[in-house]
């Protein structure tokens, strides 16, 4: 995978400090490096992303465990054969192992510990029927979105009739910036649905009452 020097530099230092910082789980949220990584109000949005990622059944890849909300919905799907989750943070990995102990004891759910940047290059082309990408920026004030570098990997890892979705960070539609990057990665069938959400006033990362759930296919 080709990543720019800027991204490589950002990755190496931020990866190191991310895994060293303790994760704080509260009843409704996950905080790492004292910023809001995930909150429970996203429940219905996660349900929609999981429904998209499992719509073809088969093998599903999920990047970012967080509170395990989308993982729970993916696991509920009767159609899927396998569910691989990639998560890098040691405290989050611990939670995943506790929360999904029974599921992880089977071959159906597999937890891969580490950064997707190190793990996905080990996975063969066209392995997955569905991919759900929901990582997060590992530093505040970064000038690019964490999901853009994954688009070419998503294309490579997806079967020809597979479907890719991701936390879009967009409220009403897929913007030209995302469309350009998705098309450059090779995706031509780009649709979305709108999910209504009600983030609490204390939520620092989302202020809108809707979020785009992308439905991205190759053809
Ligand atoms: C927003 S949360 C995921 C929320 C999840 N979808 C849920 O339903 O709870 C993002 C997660 O991605 C993980 N993460 C961030 N960057 C990553 C990377 N490069 N590789 C693997 N995991 C990453 C974080 O540690 C965090 O647990």
pLDDT in tens, 158-202: 999 999 999 999 999 999 999 999 999 999 999 999 999 999 999
**Most distant CA pair in the chain, distance:** 43
Residue 68 burial by Cβ neighbours in a 10 Å radius (0-12, 13-18, 19+): buried
Ligand 1 atom with the smallest distance to the CA of 38 is 1
Residue with CA closest to ligand 1 atom 13: 64
Tell me what pLDDT residue 145 has.
77
Ligand 1 atom with the smallest distance to the CA of 116 is 20
Residue with CA closest to ligand 1 atom 2: 66
Residue 58 burial by Cβ neighbours in a 10 Å radius (0-12, 13-18, 19+): middle
Among 30, 10, 157, 145, residue whose Cα is nearest residue 87: 30
List domains and CATH numbers for the chain: 5-217 (3.40.50.150)
Q: Is the C-beta atom of 69 inside 6 A of ligand 1?
A: yes
Q: Is the C-beta atom of 75 inside 6 A of ligand 1?
A: no
pTM, entire model: 0.95
Q: Is the C-beta atom of 218 inside 6 A of ligand 1?
A: no
Residues near 82 by Cβ (< 8 Å), separated by ≥ 6?
A: 58, 59, 60, 107, 108, 109, 110
Ligand 1 atom with the smallest distance to the CA of 32 is 25
Weakly modelled stretches of the chain, pLDDT under 70 = 1-10, 141-144
Tell me what pLDDT residue 123 has.
98
Residue with CA closest to ligand 1 atom 20: 115
């Amino acid at each position: 995978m080709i990543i720019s020097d800027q991204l490589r530099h950002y990755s190496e230092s931020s990866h190191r400090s991310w895994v060293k910082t303790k994760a704080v789980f509260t009843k409704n949220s996950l905080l790492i490096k004292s910023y809001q990584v995930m909150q429970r109000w996203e429940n219905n949005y996660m349900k929609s992303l999981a429904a998209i990622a499992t719509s073809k059944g088969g093998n599903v890849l999920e990047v970012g465990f967080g509170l395990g909300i989308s993982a729970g919905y993916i696991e509920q799907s009767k159609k899927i054969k396998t569910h691989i989750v990639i998560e890098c943070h040691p405290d989050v990995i611990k939670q995943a192992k506790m929360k999904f102990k029974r599921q992880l004891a089977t071959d159906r759910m597999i937890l891969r510990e580490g950064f997707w940047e190190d793990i996905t290059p080990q996975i063969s082309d066209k392995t997955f029927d569905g991919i759900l990408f929901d990582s997060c920026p590992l530093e505040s004030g970064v000038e690019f979105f964490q999901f853009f570098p994954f688009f070419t990997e998503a294309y490579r890892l997806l079967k020809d009739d597979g479907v890719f979705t991701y936390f879009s960070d967009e409220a009403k539609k897929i913007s030209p910036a995302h469309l350009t990057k998705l098309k450059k990665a090779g995706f031509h069938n780009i649709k979305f649905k709108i999910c209504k959400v009600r983030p609490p006033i204390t939520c620092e990362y989302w202020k809108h009452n809707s979020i785009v759930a992308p439905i991205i296919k190759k053809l």
